[in-house]
A and B are shown apart, each in its own frame.
Chain A
Amino acid sequence: MGLEQKLPEGILTTNLEKLVNWGRQNSTWPLLFGLACCAIEMIATGTARHDIARYGSELFRASPRQADLMIVSGRVSNKMAPVVKRLYDQMLEPKWVIAMGICASAGGPFNNYAIIQGVDKVIPVDVYVPGCPPRPEALLYALDKLREKQGRETFALYQRNALADAMVGPEGIETLDTLRAQEAVR
């Protein structure tokens, strides 16, 4: 437009938010972290045929301090939940979470004593991917969805801590039973 025509070649104008979002969208580094069956499909996504490098996400970081994205790939057991939570806490802002597969999204076929019914009971989730396990293409689609979400983020609205806090109920844990008990009292 007007200004850019007057500038020398090779100079673009944009606003800082868009520039930062562009950078984040194209270099979202996942945490090198696999739980169950879905982790195998996650590895398959990383290899040559599906090539997650097209998204700038091929660099799976083993340290949560260097990762932007946690792909929860598999069922989360009662014993694993504190570990998942701690890893999420150790990741630096900004950070995103993909719940890969039905187990991480809602417990899947494992509705029993051992498995937590969805990782969103422990950490906030940005994108849910259905499937058991999702195909690599589905995971790549989830990355697309995540990029859309990253592109919409603004500095003013970007308060993930506040969002995460808002997800925690006043009593910490709310279950169906406690809610029904409250209903009964009312």
Chain B
Amino acid sequence: MLKVSPIHRQYEVLPSLNDPSIPAMAPMPAGETADTQRIVERFGDGILAAGVHNGQQIVYVQPDQLLNLAKFLKEDAELAYEALIDVSAVDCSKLPQPLNGRRFQTVYQLRSYARKQHITVICPLENDEEPQVDSLTSVYQGANWPEREVLDLMGITFVNHPDPRRILMPAHWPNHPLRKDMPLGGEEVPFSFTWGDPEFETLGKQVLPAESVPPEVPPGMSRENMIINMGPHHPSTHGVLRLAVELDGETVINVDADLGYLHSGFEKTGENKRYKDFVYYTDRMDYLSSMNNNLGYVLAVEKMLGLEIPERAQVIRVIMSELQRISSHLFWLSTHALDVCGTGMSLLMYATRERERILDLFEMVCGARLTLSYIRVGGVWKDLPPAFLGNLRHLLEILPAAFDDYEAMLTDAPIWRERLEGIGHLSREDVINMGLTGPMLRGSGVDWDMRRDVPYCGYENYEFDVPVRTAGDCYARYEVRMAEMRQSVRILNQAIARLPEGPYKTEDRKVSLPPRAELDVSMEALIHHFKLVTEGFHVPAGLGYHGIEASKGELGFFIYSDGSGVPYRLHVHGPSFNNLFAIAKMCKHHMLADIVTNIGSIDIVLGEVDR
């Protein structure tokens, strides 16, 4: 019988179509490391399992020991997991034997910057109906928003959470969409050619009332002061971000960010698409750096598959990733200057001039300007066209001079300095504790770059500096990003020099399509082609998190596979989401106008914040 994994995962109605082994739990971690050994020694029975899985340290912990474990991980000098990067949850109800019969698991990703270690903590929750677990906000400040996201989308209550509200969905939303008993939703698509069909009767008539709901005063704000509303339609919020701002005169007392105006259900969609089909969605998350998003997702899948990527594909990926970083930073620079500084409009024109040249290169390799989907599982979509390298070399000659121009306009400009220096200050402790990543981290003196410290795609073979500033204000972050663009040019020059000949995608026929010519002569190739096109590839049961250094920070994908061709749980750790958490701290006791500076300095993309 043909083994097809249906897109809509109807295990109940189509059990015989599936391989009986397919909905499988992720295997328990095996082996041990120094860290897991130390944790097991300390907690004994509180740890359900500990070890290594997919090259990643994983600890399963009892819910009553979670808070203690978090404290231990953070405060123990030999462990020193200073930052909580990500919180997510898995609803195991469609898996054959949920762990000890428990439905929900919360998943934490922790990072030690000093020791360059990563650990995943998984906590199976006891109560299936009203799951609850201790909040980690008392240990890691950065747990605040990710826990609210889990509460919103998965319906898990975090005990002692300081602000247990929904964060993405509207407050009156009836359910928790990421639970497995919730359908994907959406509407039927009419596929009919008969105008008499009832589908067409509704055409143009389905006007929704779209009633406005009166906003509530966010907790901690007082009506005594002036509360103003910024966004979701505001030119300087860089998208559909809404901020409720409490003011005393012109001084900001409190800021409450209201997210979710662009929540698009990426995670739920991903859990209903085959692995290869979700690449196209990643473009639309951080739409300013599609290549990085493609790369992050693809690397996570490849990690689960244990796939080897040819050298040429690796170098092409580096080239694309760095070009995208420059283009994303250019867009950040132009909009930031537009918001803050008098010379804004001209800088927007100049920076987009260079950005358009990068988009031309992207168009050359994949035909699109923005939503690229060029990096695919197993390699890249097509080889570089012959004219690409010449044009890239030409661009790399232009770019340093262009950066000099921008710096001449801004770096010492009095207005620019006045508006950025000392604004939005974050200390080293703050950025680590809040779980911020990317330039936010490096602007406050943390010397951390995923490309250098947890290398992927062969970044260890390139020579580049990681710009770090210690001032921790908006100006420091500006300097970091400007220096990063120059380093990207340096990496690109090296990448061109080392670009080898060879295949641009893996030869593993279980993952990548055979070439057209092979189909005419090889039956085997035909079978591989058919299997790949109809059901995609299957990923072995397991779980994995992979983070990359995207232009805005650490972009991570957490995948829980049940062995089928569709991810069982797909969670995206968007850097903008975590970085935006700092907005309240950055804006307090500054002027109202500085909010705009701070938003620009965080460099958010709402597609990624809201996902």
Interface residues of A (CB under 8 A from B): 32-37, 39-41, 43-44, 47-49, 62, 64, 74-75, 77-87, 107, 109-117, 120-122, 132-133, 135, 167-169, 172-176, 179-180, 183
Whether the pair A132, B356 counts as a contact (CB closer than 8 A) is: no
Q: Is the interface of B mostly helix, strand, loop or mixed?
A: loop
With A113-B265, A121-B206 known to touch, is A176 a contact of B352 (CB < 8 Å)? Answer: no
List 24 A-B residue pairs with CB atoms under 8 Å apart, sorted by A's residue number.
A36-B239, A36-B284, A37-B287, A40-B370, A41-B369, A47-B349, A47-B353, A79-B170, A82-B213, A83-B233, A85-B210, A111-B184, A112-B268, A113-B182, A113-B183, A113-B268, A114-B177, A114-B263, A117-B186, A169-B207, A173-B208, A176-B198, A179-B198, A179-B201
Determine whether B110 belongs to the interface, using a CB cutoff of 8 Å to chain A. no
Give chain B interface residues in 339-390, CB to chain A under 8 Å. Answer: 348-349, 352-353, 356, 359, 369-371
A64 to B233, CA, bound (A): 10
The verdict on B515 contacting chain A, using a C-beta distance below 8 Å, is no
Known A48-B353, A80-B240, A81-B210; 4 more pairs at CB < 8 Å: A43-B352, A48-B349, A114-B265, A173-B206
Q: Contacts A83-B232, A168-B207 known; A107 to B187 CB distance under 8 Å? A: yes
Q: Of A37, A167, A180, which contacts B204 at CB under 8 A? A: A167
The answer to whether B210 touches A113 (Cβ under 8 A) is: no
Asked whether A117 and B187 contact (CB < 8 A) given A37-B607, A47-B349, the answer is yes
Which of B198, B268, B288, B607 has a CB less than 8 Å from the CB of A183? B198
**CA gap between A133 and B283 in the complex, in Å:** 11
CA of A120 to CA of B280, assembled, Å = 25
B residues less than 8 Å from A64 (CB atoms): 233
Contact of B348 among A36, A47, A172 (CB under 8 A): A47
B188 to chain A, nearest CB (A): 6
Q: Smallest Cβ distance from B265 to chain A, in angstroms? A: 4
Chain B residues near A36 (CB, 8 Å)?
239, 262, 264, 284, 287, 606-607
Q: Are B235 and A167 in contact (CB under 8 A)?
A: no
Assess the A86–B205 pair: CB atoms within 8 A. no
Q: Contacting A86 at CB < 8 Å: which of B212, B284, B610?
A: B212
Complex Cα gap A145–B610 (Å): 33
Q: How far is the CB of A22 from chain B (nearest CB, A)?
A: 28
B353: contacting residue among A49, A113, A115, A174, CB under 8 A: A49
Q: How many residues of B contact A (CB 8 A)?
A: 59
With A36-B262, A175-B206 in contact, is A113–B185 under 8 Å at CB?
yes
Contacts of A179 in B (CB 8 A): 198, 201-202
Best-buried of A33, A78, A172 by chain B (most CB within 10 Å): A78
User: Which residues of B in the span 483-538 have a Cβ within 8 Å of any Cβ on A?
Assistant: none
CA of A36 to CA of B283, assembled, Å: 11
Residue B456, interface by CB 8 Å? no
A180 touches B198 (CB 8 A): yes
**Given the complex of chains A and B, what is the CA–CA distance between A80 and B262 in angstroms?**
7
Complex: A107 Cα to B284 Cα, angstroms: 13
Report the minimum CB–CB distance from A182 to chain B (whole Å): 9
B261 at interface, CB cutoff 8 A: yes
Measured CA separation A133–B201 after assembly (Å): 29
Residues of B within 8 A of A175 (CB): 202, 206
Q: Which residues of A contact B234 (CB under 8 A)?
A: 62
Q: Which of B207, B239, B262 has the most CB of A within 10 A?
A: B207
Tell me if B542 counts as interface (CB < 8 A to partner A): no
Tell me the B276-333 residues at the A interface (CB within 8 Å).
280-281, 283-284, 287-288, 331
Roughly how many angstroms separate A115 CA and B610 CA in the complex, as a whole number? 12
Compute how far the CA of A81 lies from the CA of B209 in the bound complex, rounded to whole angstroms.
9
Q: Which residues of B contact A48 (CB under 8 A)?
A: 349, 352-353
Q: Could you tell me the distance between the alpha carbons of A169 and B212 in the complex, rounded to whole angstroms?
A: 20
